Chain A
């Protein structure tokens, strides 16, 4: 069965430092992987996706994610964190053969000034 794990409930990082939010997955077949961000009292906003091709995917707001097939990971990264990046981040994998997403439990990112 497809699954996705976000092992950290919360990540704290100082403003200006690089940030990483971790995601690992388990799928049969080729994975379709996504990252979303949720600000307080808002819907989820699409950041980036990996379907095929280059393992380094660039997305919105300066975020990028690295697909690693051998480690079954899809970590979200940003070279220099901003206080405004503080939010809840969700990793998702598309269930093979369907259009359903399986979402992780979310990681709360706090960027400290």
Chain B
């Protein structure tokens, strides 16, 4: 089992650029979560999906952030335009309703200059 896969692992971009983060959940999992981790705010849930449908996006900071899950094996988190305050580590996690356990990917470290 490959676990949750995220790409890229590191991203450095300039303010105003579009950033796309990618996630492949564990096969068979029907829930997918996007989190952001910073020193100041800790671990924040941004959005989560069930069966590819967004269930709760109340944690998405503003309209610059969007997330999609076109199929059960792929999700993206997009920031457009990016700002320096978006610098953080972004984690994707997946889980199944039966197990109720979330499994995290290795994260994408984003730096916006």
Interface set of A (CB-CB < 8 Å, partner B): 32, 34, 36, 41-46, 49, 51, 90, 94, 98-101, 103, 105-106
Contacts and interface: CB of A to CB of B under 8 A. Distances in A.
B43 A49 contact: no
B53 interface: no
Contacts of A49: 100-101
B42 A44 contact: no
Given A46-B102, A51-B100, A99-B50, 16 more contacts: A34-B101, A36-B104, A42-B107, A43-B4, A43-B104, A43-B107, A44-B91, A46-B101, A46-B104, A49-B101, A90-B43, A98-B56, A99-B31, A99-B55, A99-B97, A99-B100
Contact of A32 (B100, B103, B104, B109): B100
A41 B50 CA distance: 28
A67 to B, nearest CB: 15
Contacts, number: 46
Interface of B: 4, 31, 42-43, 45, 48, 50, 55-56, 91, 93, 95, 97, 100-107, 109
Contacts of A42: 106-107
14 contacts: A32-B100, A36-B104, A42-B106, A43-B4, A43-B105, A43-B106, A44-B43, A46-B101, A94-B100, A98-B55, A99-B50, A99-B95, A101-B102, A106-B42
B100 to A, nearest CB: 6
Nearest to A100: B45
A36 B95 CA distance: 14
B29 to A, nearest CB: 11
Contacts of A90: 43
B42 A103 contact: yes
A45 B104 contact: yes
Given A34-B101, A49-B101, A99 B48 contact: yes
